[in-house]
Amino acid sequence: MPTSDSVPTIGIVIPAYNEESTIRSCVLAALNQTVPAREIVVVDNMSTDLTPTILQELKSDFPDAPLILLTQDREQGITPTRNMGFDAVTSDVIGRIDSDSVLEPNWVESTIKVFLDNSVDAATGPVTYYDMPLRRYMARADDSARKAISRLVKQYHFLFGTNMALRRTAWEKVRGDICLDADKHMFEDIDLSVHLYDEGFAIVYAPDMVVGMSSRRLDDSPKDFLAYVKRFDTTYNHHGLRTRSLRIPQWAYLGVYPIAKSLRWSHKIREARKR
Which pLDDT tens digit goes with each residue over 195-238?
998 999 999 989 999 999 887 766 667 777 676 667 666 766 66
Q: For residue 148, what is the domain's CATH number?
A: 3.90.550.10
Residue 227: Cβ within 10 Å count: 12
Residue 230 lies in a domain: no
Q: How far is C-alpha 164 from the geometric centre of its chain's CA atoms?
A: 5
pLDDT at 120: 96
Mean pLDDT of 145-160: 65
- Residue 274: band (very low, low, confident or very high) from pLDDT cuts 50, 70, 90: low
Residue 186: Cβ within 10 Å count: 22
Residue 248 lies in a domain: no
Q: What's the rounded Cα separation, in Å, for the pair 177 and 179?
A: 6
Give 248 or 224, the one with higher predicted confidence.
224
Residue 228 lies in a domain: no
- Residue 275: band (very low, low, confident or very high) from pLDDT cuts 50, 70, 90: low
For the chain, what is the radius of gyration of the CA atoms?
18
Please give the residue range of the domain that contains residue 207. 4-215
The pTM for the full model equals 0.82
- Residue 186: band (very low, low, confident or very high) from pLDDT cuts 50, 70, 90: confident
Q: Is the pLDDT of residue 174 over 80?
A: yes
Residue 261 lies in a domain: no
Residue 222 lies in a domain: no
Residue 174 lies in a domain: yes
**Number of folded domains in the chain?**
1
What confidence tens digit (pLDDT) does each residue in 52-104 have?
999 999 999 999 999 999 999 999 999 999 999 999 999 999 999 999 999 99
Residue 55 lies in a domain: yes
Residue 84 lies in a domain: yes
Nearest residue to 88 (alpha-carbon basis) of 173, 159, 14 = 14
Nearest residue to 106 (alpha-carbon basis) of 52, 29, 181, 164 = 29
Q: What's the rounded Cα separation, in Å, for the pair 69 and 55?
A: 8
